[in-house]
Amino acid sequence: MTVTIYHNPACGTSRNTLAMIRASGVEPQIVPYLDTGWTRDLLRTLLANMGLTARDVLRTSKSPAEDLGLTDPAVSDAALIDAMLEHPILVNRPIVVSPKGTRLCRPSERVYDLLDTPPATFTKEDGEVIRR
């Protein structure tokens, strides 16, 4: 199974999701999106595959979203995507792609539906135990 994770190693949810993927026996392709950035086509494809809008994945905490005026509901999806291209941190994470689909994995256990053999139990960094 090929799995790709758009990952921010500074994010606990992203680290937990990556660890869950690895616990399933898969070594995913890791895309450090803060370093690589996004392309318009990739963002549009990921959004379409998730059935979400740019507003749905807009990261508003610990990002410049509010300072840039992006939290205003009148801001269009096209303008949000433009901002996300300029500021990759504006895209909430992690986003995981597998043959089973594409998903924003917040909370991290949302990745289970994308894996062939998710771990029966998994302990998150904060000690929370997830059971299948």
- Which residues have a catalytic role annotated? 11
Two tokens, residue 53: 């809008």
Residue type, 28: P
Pairing type for strands 4-6 and 29-31 reads parallel
3-class SS of residue 123 = strand
3-state helix, strand, coil in the chain (%, to 5): 40, 15, 45
